[in-house]
Structure 1
Amino acid sequence: MASDRCCTFLEILLAIILPPLGVFLRFGCCSMEFCICLLLTILGYVPGIIYAIYVLIALGSDRDRDRDYYDEVA
């Protein structure tokens, strides 16, 4: 649990420095989240940061919950 918080903190820190990198570490290269973040960062640095932090905090926790559910079922 503590390692998950540490990874999330590092992803958010990287998302502030270079937004697509933080999203890439969580979702991968060919995901829709990464493509949107890359586009927003090209169009403007601040929208890229805002979207990256939103995706890492809001959508990242949903994926973690889904993964825990599937681990319990299996």
Structure 2
Amino acid sequence: MKKRAHLSISLPTEEAKLLRRRAKRVHGGNVSRVISDAIRYVAYEEGRDALIASFGGKGSPSRTEAQKLDEAWGLSANKSA
């Protein structure tokens, strides 16, 4: 079995209710599993952010490039004359 760390956390009541609801719906009431899911998501975001940072400024499109991408993806509003 993997080593485990035990934590004691304080949350606003509504957030605790949200965790319990999701735990009942998704993991048979296991709140720790819900928290583990959230931690995996945070780890994914951290990895994504590190990857983006590794590109330096190379990953940022210019305003013109961004507009072209928006048009190609159908995200720009059609201008009517």
TM-score w.r.t. the length of structure 1 is 0.35
With CA pairs under 8 Å and 6+ residues apart, which has the higher RCO, 1 or 2?
1
Larger Rg: 2
Higher share of residues assigned helix = 1
TM-score, normalised relative to structure 2: 0.34
